[in-house]
Amino acid sequence: MATVDRRGFLATGAVSSVVGASLLGGAGLTGEARAEESAEELKRIGQTPHTKFAVNIEMWWSKLPFLERLKAAAALGFPAVEFWPLAGKDLPAVAALSKELGIAIAQFTAWGFTPGLNEAKNHPAFVKAVEEGCAAAKLLNCQLMTVVAGNDVAGVSQEEMHQTVIAGLKLAAPIAEKHNVTLILEPMNIRVDHKGHCLYGSAPSMKIIQAVGSSHVKLNWDLYHMHITEGDLCGHLREGMGNKTIGYLQLADHPGRNEPGTGEIYYNRVLKEAYDLGYRGYVGLELKPKTTELAAAKAAAAADIW
């Protein structure tokens, strides 16, 4: 595959759609020199000093072809991306392009909402999906895979569903350990986005991880979901980091599920707390840019200032 450079990025529709005319202005510069300066300026946006952001390329640049989204994220200087299911993606092409661009795959979704992990009849399919996900993770040089507990099962108590989730994760844990891939279980919120989901809140989520008892099964701690469910983000972060149940962080502001600064969460304080607690993993930007991806990238960078 041909080497990709900044001028190549700017020549693509993917990046020109992100950049916008304002960043290509550059008074006193013409042609190639102006484009080069703009590329350097864009690269600095995602190169934040404390937090390593991973753009969710299912929600950012969603109208572009998938590989073009990788290029757009790299052009803004982000160190990593994340995405949802493996299905429908040319994984060898994703692996090759991410390596060429020098952008990591932070995590992807190996098991979604349905069929539910909270029903034992689905466990054989879950184990197979984890095996396939580990193979994909190796190809993508990725060590994290999200798994979802599932929606409520009629006539079954929440405690019973959680016990079934534990049983399923215990089946998959040895596979994850063998391949050095960590499964990250994601609690949701049921007030806004996922009414009827069986797992929400820090206490039951941490209880599940502790019951599984594997170093390769942790939580995808989405601060957006946690804020809506229970608040006290910094307090719960301290608890989750203290008992080593947190494996990955994601964020979005609320209301709206947009970038930091558009809602009520003061992410500068929350991200500082995570950093001070020793978190050095990627933070997924699983959010919908309110206006443009460029504006959202700048807002995320501003949240890393303290």
pLDDT in tens, the chain (306 residues): 434 443 344 334 444 444 443 333 334 445 555 566 689 999 999 999 999 999 999 999 999 999 999 999 999 999 999 999 999 999 999 999 999 999 999 999 999 999 999 999 999 999 999 999 999 999 999 999 999 999 999 999 999 999 999 999 999 999 999 999 999 999 999 999 999 999 999 999 999 999 999 999 999 999 999 999 999 999 999 999 999 999 999 999 999 999 999 999 999 999 999 999 999 999 999 999 999 999 999 999 999 999
Domains held by the chain: number: 1
| CB 108, CB 136: distance < 8 Å | yes
Does any domain span residue 14?
A: no
Exposed (0-12), middle (13-18) or buried (19+): which is 299, by Cβ within 10 Å? buried
Does any domain span residue 31?
A: no
Does any domain span residue 195?
A: yes
Nearest to 189 by CA among 197, 181, 180: 197
| CB 142, CB 154: distance < 8 Å | no
Does any domain span residue 208?
A: yes
pLDDT at position 25, please? 37
pTM: 0.90
pLDDT at position 238, please? 98
Please give the residue range of the domain that contains residue 116: 49-302
Three-state SS for 218?
A: strand
| CB 40, CB 6: distance < 8 Å | yes
| CB 54, CB 284: distance < 8 Å | yes
Does any domain span residue 207?
A: yes
| CB 45, CB 18: distance < 8 Å | no
> Domain with 214 in it: what CATH number?
3.20.20.150
